[in-house]
Chain A
């Protein structure tokens, strides 16, 4: 235990907040604290409320508590009776996720808000279905409105009403995270309030932007003057003058720009100048181009300084906003009604209802009285709603918050790290409260930590991110390492961590068939690590072969599977493979997580962390090629998988025989028909539809007269009758059993499991089938086949699941950075570092908590659109939030490894140094964050 930790454990008379770095042992501190509270008889387990943000975290915490308490018993037998009672109580104690806590509160005090206590909590599957049906009725109702017609046109809905549906659903989804969505909508439909806040935001932003540019110009100017670059001098002088036009940043100033038709000229220096000057010129030009684009955007938003116009566009767009609010409000009402009629709650309701209940003073008093100690883990992942909820039950001195603002990565769920940061500030000022920070790390190798420090010192600045990394959040106690280097103290920046941290950069233009040479450009010496694929590996396809295949490919695209042309570009997967294999080749040893002994590396020591699931396949393909076992968790839509669809098709056939596709599938799958037989039926029996032909054959009304054919068809007829009997049997089954039972019967009787196993990756197919069955159980649509088919036809999304590929225990794990949170791995490879962040795109409608809703001014008559202050302001704000979130995601990724860290990504173009927040917020990839900090 460190001093800080001990202090956190011992302080029980004051409210405590802990800002804990990754791997600083926050959960174990929390558990130890709880154990000490229980041991010292300060309260019973039932008087403790411990909230976590996931269910698994709460089970983990419970388990750790039990273990710890039992340990205590073994240490001191006199405590046995007391502690065993508490262990027993733990089973029903309030150590739970926030959701289950809410659920409990609602079940307990249901009458306060008049809900039926027998409610069920529905998952996304069912809530999605209800949303879809609510949306349908909303659309039907509003279809008559002219505003609705305009809205669909502005959104370019021509195929279905997809765009407008999506907008309503997404907006509603956003509203669900707002504490009081009704009042949010009310404010959003208040014209003036929104206009002013957005305009002010934009003007301020514009000011930052100009100041940033001014500074840059100043910098260039000084260099130019110093070196006496003639031509550039005039240029930069002009730009400085330009910047000086702005003082107050008002509309009036903006109007000035109208008279600046070709503002900011750029005259090129003549050829033959010195290299430095040309280089400077290039940099300048790049900056200038960026600047021009940006400024043009601002000017458009401000209508070149015409306030009237700005207002006009805003007001035009406001009509859409009003209508969107109205229709979404209606949708939510309908959705709520549906839920009520079925007596179900979704996850949003849990929080909403719990808040409503807690607003009741009697209840609040009772709960405050009950919980003598409250601790909340991962507090940085709290959103406004949850923090409101907590405020009702937390007393003055009994709370214990733990979290790490740097690991707040659930912004898309509207989690707000500002809540945590604000609270820390508050605690620091209050003498009756205790704010601590855990800056040590017990997880990662010190050199990795050094690397993390070096990266984030530069980019996680107080002014840009609200977190002061350099002064408050660095990993500490790394002195020994500094000392070690060549026997004298060296500056941390000079520490060489090549052996622990490696960065691989893929050349930008990857040519097919040409092995990529990985190299690094513009990287400071201490991270540099060159990694060349050409070194140890032989290219799989030699140039000769390529040439050959090129010749044959014209006429044999399909000719022979064995000669199939399957090439792919070398990609990140290959580099990861090489990196991993190097460990085995060099027989590098690592420390085992459990035994703490050094041992050979295993595949399971590696983890690939990726930003999104999109790139999983790339890695999996590469690993498979090299026979590296791999396991990954995917998002899959079960219904869209061919084999699931086959099975569903059989159900369709049972439900209604007269459907070609389902019928033919069933004939193949459970009738044992071959393609040849089906072909014969299709081409020898008359009829428009395939099913007509089958029915004719079953009834014996087909007109096959030729003797030759007849013999063939006698076999087919017999087979068909057996099949028909089977279907009849399943029809009886379908009438009397649930869909799930029916399916199991079909699968079992037709030996489908073996059939699927026979296919490539059969094990996965079977697992997916099992998962599908498990999804069906206990669902309301499980009862009737018709309802089920109707359901999946209309709501395919319901069957989106996480699916891990089946592989052996010893396999490389691929996971998203989000999923890796809270975990540790011996060797971590972070992929996709060069990929541009997936920031939200500009769209007609944007919304945020602070600035409400913003829409473009779409003029339907002449089919043109104008930017509005509200739309741009909210868009910019969102983008900034997203970039900051990416920075925290990077922090999470970099703090996972215990021993080794590798970063892989495509080459990027650097946008200059990160001198200020403005350019920091223009970073577009992890590499930009990392490489720019050198």
Chain B
């Protein structure tokens, strides 16, 4: 027969049939198999597999492209690769941006040029010339017209540039079909063609093959009898066959009556037995992949007999890698990367990029990239320095950088890099043409030994077992150089600028595909469902079959629209449209599904907490594959074999202790969980079950002796013992940062308050009349605080910091005013500020010294009260005292009582805040700055602290007390500020006692992780702690009165 048509379900069946044919014919004629690149290897492999013959018979496996090469080589015209084409398009678009109608400047970004280039190739392969395009465009609607005219313009210029100088892939096919016409040698050849995509050009070639060769056998995928599947390719092929004299009935395409056409239908009759196809639903992506791995291991077949088809590979890729690594299953992910995706090329681009867009971040990554040989330690210091001084684009090259003792060493990097950068910049800026740019770039790369650097990185990657990446890196230099050469040969003499050059280079890099073969033969193949082409596998796992991604439909919004393509199709016979592309990917998926003996389909119930539903296609497949159509087959729920998960589930149900313990022991014996952390894990579970398992102590005791201890250290201890350990035991520090921080604000306010206090003490007055003194104090405080009036600190000046400091001065003044007003109305006088406290106490184990500073001590007669300035918005509450987190005030009060024999009557927070008061309310500041804390409920004490209290003004604005004078002096209990002297003494004793207790516990080595309520939330060490905030301590005290009343 002249023309044969071979239809098959499984590709393997098709190939087997072809090989049988070939085997029969081999002695008489030359046998040539034309298949897509992807089948090149597998077809040959399959041949040996299925024919079981030891030696090869005489046959050729090739692709259309390689077939063309035979004829092209003679022509001695340079071949224009895709990336060169893309760069050319990029250049053309940049050049004529002003002349374009719609694809103007804004279109000069990622992927655009590749898109245009592909369109041009599409047009060319459908044999549409620029002129024809403009003819076709005439009939289009306005909106599409402009766009296509632009493409036509670019297309025209593209053609003009390559004419007579280069040939591209589309030209190749033309040449092929032209040359075949005159090649009589093929008359003794049997061709076997399997081409899933049949463009007009390829159809032309096929036409020639039919005419000139001895015979042609077309292999066609036979889809399921699902009526929604419609195949454009087959129709085109039938058209071709028909034009060559074949006849067929369009309704029953399976029966061809023509003499010259023989159709062989190679189909597996029982496509799938019921148990060979399984449908699963899984909780999530990870579970899906895990169960695939478990299944592969369970089946015990060879890895190369398994394939995983993923419907949305990018979404799954990381999970696949992670879990396959975990199961130690070798795999090969069939994806391509562009050169642009690789780090070394990115660094290269960044180098050019910082010439016209300098960014410190980029400098850091360049420096860290090892392209220059800098010492690791110095790089660290370099980074710390930049962070410490807030170095940015503006002041990177400034002459007088802040001096910093710590960072002497790294200066070399700073200077060296600056020099390299400046040289490179000048060199680049001198360049005029693409050629010159490339020369400079090449020189630069040679100078810094780019090739060897990549080589050594390859070695590094091998060391850490990254074979695939290493293989990719090996290709970088050659591909890069090839790209440079291509660029030089097509555009070498054209003028350009740095930025344009950068864009063209970037477009080029983005279009160079780079790929590695599988590292071992025996590995699981992983591919994308819509574009991979499977051959034959024992087990096929198709995962991610949820609606929306199975299959992934292209939406109708590419560069050229569906409607526009449809128009063009009728006018210039271009195919396919978006809908047909979608149909193609659907067909491909179904074809792929046919290429296995056992099929496993699954979909995730949720993807990152978004609920999913099974794909309609999956449901259709179910009907298709499962024998009894009406019977609904439920999705199986494959449990991921995560013991712990099931344990957690059990934890809810198990009520009795014994059962739980038995279960725990069972887990204990499982061999997979050998790690040391197993015990820990059981702990977590045990906690959940409220069990007391006798596990070894997780945290050791680390005793520390405290001869001197500050109150704040103890307060931290009561916040969380572990935090105390990290902060004071390990003494971890953050690296200095010289930008203005909230803590500086607090310090400044304290300073101002301190200076005012000193001023009053020095002048032996309790308040000032002249408020101008506030300004002076604030200015002085700024100076001592390393800021001058401009808000400069060190050498870094920022207008924003100035504003903050300016505002700070305002609120400082407002604070001073409030203190002054309070003092006016008080009999208490400031006795000292920042008073140092040293008190020796014994905790029962050893003696320790309490160290600390009191912000302010006020006295009146023999009475003493202390005041602490606070920037936060905390109020005194008993619970905090009881829990040990806020004992400062009372410890100090106790110390003063013991050391100076004064009678303690009050402890307050003075809240520093910036208040703008409402004009219609009481105008004084006092209310907003009212002291917060405790005092004695004694008339004398109260009135001494607020002399303004009287019958008409019973509520104090200074201390937290309301009183009444009606039937003698009384204190209103509703405002919690006043306590009896016994209670006050209890507070003090308690504070000292718990202080001692704390030191004792530290000495015994308690470093437990037990934060107080939300202490974790704001802890700077929580990243070291690793603990949820669920183990919190919580202390709540009963108010005596309340319990009484309840009884």
Which of A's residues lie within 8 Å of B, judged by CB?
56, 59, 63, 66, 80-81, 84-85, 87-88, 91-92, 103-104, 107-111, 114-118, 139-140, 143-144, 148-149, 152-154, 156-161, 296, 300, 343, 362-363, 366, 511-514, 546, 550, 553-555, 557-558, 561, 564-568, 627, 629, 633, 640, 642-643, 645-646, 648-649, 655-662, 664-665, 668-669, 674-676, 678-679, 682-683, 688-690, 695, 729, 731-733, 735-737, 740-741, 744, 747-748, 751, 754-755, 757-763, 765, 770-771, 773-774, 777-778, 783-787, 790, 802-804, 806, 808, 858-860, 863-867
- Name which residue of chain B comes closest to A136, CB basis: B800
Q: Indicate whether B1023 reaches chain A with its CB closer than 8 angstroms.
A: yes
Known pairs A557-B1033, A558-B1006; list 7 more (Cβ under 8 Å). A111-B101, A116-B108, A159-B745, A646-B1026, A729-B464, A744-B318, A755-B677
State the Cβ distance, A695 to closest chain B Cβ, in Å. Answer: 8
- Name which residue of chain B comes closest to A753, CB basis: B326
Residues of B73-102 at the interface with A, using a CB-CB cut-off of 8 Å, are: 101-102
Q: How far is the CA of A92 from the CA of B700 in the complex (A)?
A: 63
Inter-chain CB contacts under 8 Å: number:
358
Most interface-central of B611, B918, B997, B1026 (chain A CB within 10 A)? B1026
State the Cβ distance, B842 to closest chain A Cβ, in Å. Answer: 16
State the Cβ distance, A683 to closest chain B Cβ, in Å. Answer: 8
B286 touches A865 (CB 8 A): no
Give the dominant DSSP class at A's interface: helix
B915 touches A863 (CB 8 A): yes
A108 touches B1008 (CB 8 A): no
Q: How far is the CA of A110 from the CA of B100 in the complex (A)?
A: 14
Q: Indicate whether B325 reaches chain A with its CB closer than 8 angstroms.
A: yes
State the Cβ distance, B562 to closest chain A Cβ, in Å. Answer: 8
A633 touches B609 (CB 8 A): yes
A661 touches B1020 (CB 8 A): yes
State the Cβ distance, A417 to closest chain B Cβ, in Å. Answer: 28
B1024 touches A665 (CB 8 A): yes
Knowing A84-B228, A645-B1023, the reply to whether A679 touches B702 (Cβ < 8 A) is yes
- A-B pairs with the 5 shortest C-beta distances? A111-B102, A758-B681, A143-B799, A645-B1023, A107-B557
Q: Given B381, B732, B798, B1038, which contacts A664 in the complex, CB threshold below 8 Å?
A: B732
- A771: chain B residues within 8 A (beta carbon): 608-609
Q: Indicate whether B811 reaches chain A with its CB closer than 8 angstroms.
A: yes
State the Cβ distance, B912 to closest chain A Cβ, in Å. Answer: 9
Q: Indicate whether B54 reaches chain A with its CB closer than 8 angstroms.
A: no
A642 touches B1022 (CB 8 A): yes
- Name which residue of chain B comes closest to A777, CB basis: B318
Q: How far is the CA of A470 from the CA of B907 in the complex (A)?
A: 60
Q: How far is the CA of A765 from the CA of B702 in the complex (A)?
A: 28
Q: Indicate whether B882 reaches chain A with its CB closer than 8 angstroms.
A: yes
A-B contact pairs, 7 of them (CB 8 A): A63-B613, A118-B110, A735-B368, A758-B680, A759-B1028, A762-B681, A771-B609
Q: Indicate whether B547 reaches chain A with its CB closer than 8 angstroms.
A: yes
Give the dominant DSSP class at B's interface: helix
- A88: chain B residues within 8 A (beta carbon): 228
- B702: chain A residues within 8 A (beta carbon): 675-676, 679
- Name which residue of chain A comes closest to B720, CB basis: A558
- A662: chain B residues within 8 A (beta carbon): 1023
- A763: chain B residues within 8 A (beta carbon): 644-645, 648
B553 touches A92 (CB 8 A): yes
B730 touches A864 (CB 8 A): no
State the Cβ distance, B388 to closest chain A Cβ, in Å. Answer: 11
State the Cβ distance, B607 to closest chain A Cβ, in Å. Answer: 9
Q: How far is the CA of A153 from the CA of B807 in the complex (A)?
A: 6
Number of interface residues of B (CB under 8 A): 152
A690 touches B733 (CB 8 A): yes
- A668: chain B residues within 8 A (beta carbon): 1024
Residues of B457-512 at the interface with A, using a CB-CB cut-off of 8 Å, are: 457, 460-461, 463-464, 466, 469, 473
- Name which residue of chain B comes closest to A672, CB basis: B676
Q: How far is the CA of A509 from the CA of B326 in the complex (A)?
A: 55
Q: How far is the CA of A775 from the CA of B443 in the complex (A)?
A: 40
- A567: chain B residues within 8 A (beta carbon): 1034, 1036
- A296: chain B residues within 8 A (beta carbon): 920
Knowing A104-B557, A154-B916, A758-B677, the reply to whether A665 touches B730 (Cβ < 8 A) is no
A512 touches B1038 (CB 8 A): yes
Residues of B333-385 at the interface with A, using a CB-CB cut-off of 8 Å, are: 343, 346, 361, 364-365, 368-370, 376-377, 380-381, 383-384
A740 touches B142 (CB 8 A): no
A735 touches B457 (CB 8 A): yes
- B673: chain A residues within 8 A (beta carbon): 754
Knowing A679-B730, A803-B609, the reply to whether A732 touches B461 (Cβ < 8 A) is yes
State the Cβ distance, A618 to closest chain B Cβ, in Å. Answer: 14
Stretch at the interface among B530-538, B682-690, B969-977: B682-690
State the Cβ distance, B527 to closest chain A Cβ, in Å. Answer: 19
Q: Given B582, B917, B994, which contacts A557 in the complex, CB threshold below 8 Å?
A: B994
Residues of B680-709 at the interface with A, using a CB-CB cut-off of 8 Å, are: 680-684, 687-688, 699-700, 702
Residues of B635-686 at the interface with A, using a CB-CB cut-off of 8 Å, are: 644-645, 648-649, 652, 655, 673, 675, 677-678, 680-684
- B675: chain A residues within 8 A (beta carbon): 751, 754
State the Cβ distance, A295 to closest chain B Cβ, in Å. Answer: 13
- A81: chain B residues within 8 A (beta carbon): 227
Q: How far is the CA of A783 from the CA of B342 in the complex (A)?
A: 10
State the Cβ distance, B408 to closest chain A Cβ, in Å. Answer: 15
Q: Indicate whether B112 reaches chain A with its CB closer than 8 angstroms.
A: yes
Q: Indicate whether B178 reaches chain A with its CB closer than 8 angstroms.
A: no
A682 touches B731 (CB 8 A): yes
- Name which residue of chain A comes closest to B100, CB basis: A111
Knowing A511-B1046, A659-B735, A735-B370, the reply to whether A156 touches B1034 (Cβ < 8 A) is no
Q: How far is the CA of A732 from the CA of B462 in the complex (A)?
A: 11
Q: How far is the CA of A148 from the CA of B800 in the complex (A)?
A: 10
**B980-1011 interface code vs A (CB 8 A; 1 in, 0 out):** 00000000001001100100010000111010
Q: How far is the CA of A160 from the CA of B1007 in the complex (A)?
A: 35
Q: How far is the CA of A187 from the CA of B326 in the complex (A)?
A: 62
Q: Indicate whether B734 reaches chain A with its CB closer than 8 angstroms.
A: yes
Q: Given B103, B322, B369, B1023, which contacts A744 in the complex, CB threshold below 8 Å?
A: B322
Q: How far is the CA of A66 from the CA of B620 in the complex (A)?
A: 12
- Name which residue of chain A comes closest to B1027, CB basis: A642
- A732: chain B residues within 8 A (beta carbon): 457, 460-461, 463-464
Q: Indicate whether B919 reaches chain A with its CB closer than 8 angstroms.
A: yes
- A56: chain B residues within 8 A (beta carbon): 610-611
Q: Given A107, A144, A514, which contacts B1046 in the complex, CB threshold below 8 Å?
A: A514
Q: Indicate whether B115 reaches chain A with its CB closer than 8 angstroms.
A: yes
- A160: chain B residues within 8 A (beta carbon): 742, 804
- A658: chain B residues within 8 A (beta carbon): 377, 380-381, 384, 735
Knowing A104-B556, A363-B143, A658-B380, the reply to whether A554 touches B993 (Cβ < 8 A) is yes
Q: How far is the CA of A624 from the CA of B941 in the complex (A)?
A: 50
Knowing A139-B800, A737-B469, the reply to whether A554 touches B1008 (Cβ < 8 A) is no
Q: How far is the CA of A116 from the CA of B103 in the complex (A)?
A: 8
- A59: chain B residues within 8 A (beta carbon): 547-548, 613
- A859: chain B residues within 8 A (beta carbon): 919
- A87: chain B residues within 8 A (beta carbon): 228
State the Cβ distance, A756 to closest chain B Cβ, in Å. Answer: 8
- B883: chain A residues within 8 A (beta carbon): 557
- A676: chain B residues within 8 A (beta carbon): 700, 702
Q: How far is the CA of A306 from the CA of B233 in the complex (A)?
A: 85
- A736: chain B residues within 8 A (beta carbon): 343, 457, 461, 466, 469, 473
Q: How far is the CA of A761 from the CA of B681 in the complex (A)?
A: 10
- Name which residue of chain A comes closest to B319, CB basis: A770
Q: How far is the CA of A264 from the CA of B867 in the complex (A)?
A: 43
Q: Indicate whether B147 reaches chain A with its CB closer than 8 angstroms.
A: yes
Q: Given B314, B376, B799, which contacts A144 in the complex, CB threshold below 8 Å?
A: B799
State the Cβ distance, B48 to closest chain A Cβ, in Å. Answer: 37
State the Cβ distance, B328 to closest chain A Cβ, in Å. Answer: 11
Most interface-central of B684, B688, B1037 (chain A CB within 10 A)? B684
